[in-house]
């Protein structure tokens, strides 16, 4: 099974700090399930242009790295909007904070609280060839 690129879509509305999100089109996803080497592409939909954006990660169990992503646990999505899952099985929480420029020359702050990502091994990857 080859790596997959998943879509994490963030929808925001001026005047509402909390943005909604979907994972691979599923609005009710309670966890983003991926395999090692899969990618997650962050897409933003809302008024104005996203000015700054950061992802912050944290492990949900001791003994895990700080981030499920190769790019680290503080990721600037303006530099690259796609992240890659590491080869470590486990679960992590993350949040996305960003600002967007409004049409009236102001800037609004938005937040995506506490989605989770679960990284698993590809089926058959633990079997000897």
Average pLDDT, the chain: 90
Residue 119 has pLDDT above 90, yes or no: yes
Can you give the pLDDT at residue 126?
Answer: 55
Query: How many residues are there in the chain?
Result: 129
Can you give the pLDDT at residue 84?
Answer: 97
- Which domains can be identified in the chain, with CATH numbers? 5-116 (2.60.40)
Contacts made by residues 86-90, CB under 8 angstroms, sequence distance 24+: 86/36, 86/119, 87/36, 87/37, 88/36, 88/64, 88/119, 89/36, 89/119, 89/120, 89/121, 90/59, 90/60, 90/61, 90/64, 90/118, 90/119
Residue 129 has pLDDT above 80, yes or no: no
Can you give the pLDDT at residue 113?
Answer: 87
pLDDT tens by residue, 13-70: 988 999 999 999 998 777 999 999 999 999 999 988 999 999 999 998 888 899 999 9
Sign of CA pseudo-dihedral 117, 65, 98, 16: positive
């Amino acid at each position: 099974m080859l790596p997959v690129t998943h879509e994490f879509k963030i929808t925001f509305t001026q005047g509402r700090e909390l943005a909604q999100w979907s994972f691979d089109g599923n609005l009710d996803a309670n966890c983003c399930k991926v395999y090692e080497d899969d990618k997650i592409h962050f897409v933003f939909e809302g008024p104005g242009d996203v000015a700054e954006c950061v992802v912050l990660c944290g492990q949900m169990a001791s003994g895990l790295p700080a981030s499920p992503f190769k790019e680290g646990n503080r990721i600037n999505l303006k530099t690259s909007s796609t992240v890659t899952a590491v080869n470590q099985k486990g679960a992590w929480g993350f949040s996305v904070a960003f600002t967007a420029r409004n049409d009236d020359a102001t800037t609004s702050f938005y937040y995506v609280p506490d989605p989770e990502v679960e990284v698993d091994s590809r089926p058959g990857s633990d079997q000897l060839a």
